[in-house]
Structure 1
């Protein structure tokens, strides 16, 4: 069964939202190990930037793999 583009986007957004929370928490924990200030506002901003990048990457990869699946299915059916 084919996954719609909308559902691909919903899945990617859900994955990235959870990842955002993990990333912010990780920054607050890890930055001090490297002598960097661990300010919540900074972690939220940095996390937002990387979240947007991650969302775009996740969606693009999902669509790429869906296209590969469709091509393989089409070739196997003799199309």
Structure 2
């Protein structure tokens, strides 16, 4: 028998990509020369929280994958 790897759901990959983008944008803000340090601080805080929530959603989606059609009853009676 061949061993099959379980593929991760597409939404998990999407959440991971969002988190990576947010971290990259936060690093860009950190390196950007500006006269308004509050903009950089609040931008990094926002992007950091967005990255954390995105990673939490990816971990939740990996641990508990979406079940398709298990809660739906298909019947002709309405």
TM-based fold match above 0.5: no
Normalising by structure 2, report the TM-score. Answer: 0.40
Bigger proportion of residues as helix:
1
Structure index of larger Rg: 2
